[in-house]
Amino acid sequence: MSNSPANFSGYDTPVSDLESIVPVHPTSARRPDYITVQSENTVYTHDHISAKYSYRGADVIVSDGQFTVTPTVKPFEFQTERKVGKTGLMMVGMGGNNGTTLCATILANKHNISWHTKDGIQQPNYIGSVLRASTVRIGTEPGSGKEVHVPISDVLPMVHPNDLVLGGWDISGAPMDKAMERACVLDYDLQRQVAPHMALLGRPLPSIYYPDFIAANQEARADNVIPGADKQVHLDHIRSDIRRFKADNNLDRVVVFWTANTERYSDIVPGVNDTADNLLAAIRSSHSEVSPSTLFAVAAILEGEPFVNGAPQNTFVPGVIELAERHKSFIGGDDLKSGQTKLKSVLAEFLVNAGIKPLSIASYNHLGNNDGHNLSAEPQFKSKEISKSSVVDDMVNANRLLYKPPAPGATGKAAKGEHPDHIVVIKYVPAVGDSKRAIDEYYSEIFCGGRQTINIFNECEDSLLATPLILDLTILTELLTRIKYRDLSTRQADFVPLYPVLSLLSYMCKAPLVKPGTDVVNSLGRQRNALEAFLKACIGLEAKGDLLLETRIW
């Protein structure tokens, strides 16, 4: 794929250096379909894997402090299309730190380019990807009882990241090799070798730039924008870009992914963005509260292609969700959960589940990349603060022994009931570049009035944590477009697609988008369990059995 003609001038690295012969890392290896479930509930055909699954739950009636529990079982059948189509990834913000890092590392894996570091030879890999670098338990060996684990990417047919066709937009017109150099994320020797491959990607397509939505300090980069201020024209332009990219590269599917700057929050205005029809009318009238990310989401929805938001702003205003429902087009997000928030979603749950009461959580960050530069503006920081601050809500709500429930009729902050004090600070420090520092203090109440303080210092390379999440979200989104279901309890005859809001992406997102009217789950453990259980259900296996009953009886 190329957005524009490539220019190889200045590159004379020999091919033998570019494509060193080194073993392929296990996370990048290709494996055949080798999992077969032998069950009356699972059927394999040339085109599909069909699996019947009993979804077990419980109905609870609460009356006068008494709980009456009735177990429930609901039968479903899932159908997964086995053929993985040719898939394109169009990134908004392709020339930024995340976009260039993703393109360069995919190319390094694809061409098996190893490089020199101060610690020796580094092999390309997909470490940090949940799908490519972690495993799931599928059962035990008969007799020995030894647990058997397989890579998550092998449970169902998934696109290999090396096969993604790369493209996208950016408000900066720097060629992709120069944009990679500007990002200062990857080791020099890797940049040197992968630069000719990056040059083949050319320049990003012109993008949408509305100065009111991102920090003023980004203006200097905005030299590659779609002209004019007519938002309907901009929407049509983006739709045309998607169609052309799909046709030029003979693609079956395009995933559109926002990895550009964090925007300020859009005001939810009745008559403007509260319904699908109002939103489309607001676009036609170029209303000021229609953001660039919302335009890209609408473009993808109208083209029937999935859209994922990797930033914290409220791209998915009510009108976008209604439009996705109308067109049965998939959306997911929000905001990549890579470091501090991921750890918080584990540690806060651990403390509450251990019967310890966090009283306050104070989180401080500083970083020096362009994301930090943009977030140094207050409106953009508020978007990030909101996505980071809600991460402990469901854990608190699950334990009203420790936290008082909200008073009847409470509104605003009081509607949450008793809650830990929670503060988030982000500062821009150019000297540290992409190396983000995160400092957290957890101050908790323990036995009989005691206190406990846990301090954590986390230093990480921001884009190298975020990039694998973009891959996971893209690969999982593509898979979910190939999965249909039917409710056997209603004798439903036809298989239908999943609900358009892909809440199964929650594991990778700080502020998970969920079906309207349903609770948000932020617990990392529960998010992971849900993903594992769903993938296993699609091949007719029960969810993870940590009861291990065979080890606890004669």
- pLDDT at position 396: 86
* 177, 484, 510 from 435: Cα distances, Å: 21, 41, 20
Q: Is residue 533 in a domain?
A: no
Question: How much is the pLDDT for 17?
Answer: 47
In a domain, 459, yes or no: yes
Is position 178 annotated as part of the catalytic site? no
For residue 455, is it within any domain?
yes
| CATH number of the domain to which 349 belongs | 3.30.360.10
Rg over alpha carbons for the chain, rounded to the nearest Å, is 24
For residue 484, indicate whether it is catalytic.
Answer: no
Domains contained in the chain, number: 1
Catalytic residue among 246, 344, 384, 388: 384
Catalytic: which of 344, 436, 440, 472? Answer: 436
Residue 141 is encoded by which pair of tokens? Answer: 């060996």
**Is residue 386 one of the residues assigned to a domain?**
yes
3-state secondary structure of 327: helix
Is residue 404 annotated as part of the catalytic site, yes or no?
Answer: no
d(CA 182, CA 310): 21
Q: Estimate to the nearest angstrom the gap between the alpha carbon of 269 and the chain centroid.
A: 27
- Considering 334, 335, 434, 440, which one is annotated as catalytic? 335
If one counts every other C-beta atom within 10 angstroms of the C-beta of residue 404, the result is 10
Q: Which domain holds residue 358?
A: 339-405+415-463
In sequence order, which residues have a C-beta less than 8 Å from that of residue 322 and are 6 or more positions away?
275, 276
Strands 205-206 and 165-170, by their bridges, are parallel
Tabulate helix, strand, coil % of the chain (nearest 5).
35, 25, 40
Distance from C-alpha of 253 to C-alpha of 409, rounded to nearest angstrom: 47
Angle of CA points 159, 330, 208, to nearest 5° = 95
Q: Give catalytic status of residue 64 as yes or no.
A: no
Query: Is residue 397, in this structure, part of any structural domain at all?
Result: yes
Render each residue's pLDDT in the chain as its tens digit; 554 residues.
Answer: 444 433 333 333 433 343 446 789 999 999 887 799 999 999 999 999 999 999 999 999 999 889 999 999 999 999 999 999 999 999 999 999 999 999 999 999 999 999 999 999 999 999 999 999 999 999 989 888 899 999 999 999 999 999 999 999 999 999 999 999 999 999 999 999 999 999 999 999 999 999 998 877 778 889 999 999 999 999 999 999 999 999 999 999 999 999 998 898 899 999 999 999 999 999 999 999 999 999 999 999 999 999 999 999 999 999 999 999 999 999 998 889 887 788 888 899 999 999 999 999 998 888 777 666 665 556 655 655 565 567 788 888 889 999 999 888 888 878 888 989 988 888 888 888 878 888 999 999 999 999 999 999 988 888 899 999 999 999 999 999 999 999 999 988 899 999 999 999 999 999 899 999 898 898 899 999 999 999 999 999 987 667 777 777 88
Burial class (CB in 10 A: 0-12, 13-18, 19+), 281: middle
- What pLDDT is stored for residue 232 in this prediction? 98
> For the segment 286-320, what is each residue's pLDDT rounded down to a tens digit?
999 999 999 999 999 999 999 999 999 999 999 99
Rounded to whole angstroms, the Cα distance separating 226 from 213 reads 16
Which burial class, exposed, middle or buried, applies to 69 when counting CB atoms under 10 A from its CB (0-12, 13-18, 19+)?
A: exposed
In the chain, DSSP finds a helix count (H) and a strand count (E) of 15, 19
For residue 75, being part of any structural domain is answered with: no
Q: What is the pTM of this model?
A: 0.90
Q: Would 531 be classed as within a structural domain?
A: no
Dihedral of the CA atoms 70, 521, 476, 185 (nearest 10)?
A: -160
Task: Evaluate whether residue 355 is within a structural domain.
Answer: yes
Q: Exactly one of 110, 337, 344, 510 is catalytic; which is it?
A: 510
Quick: pLDDT tens for 253-289: 999 999 998 898 899 999 999 999 999 999 999 999 9
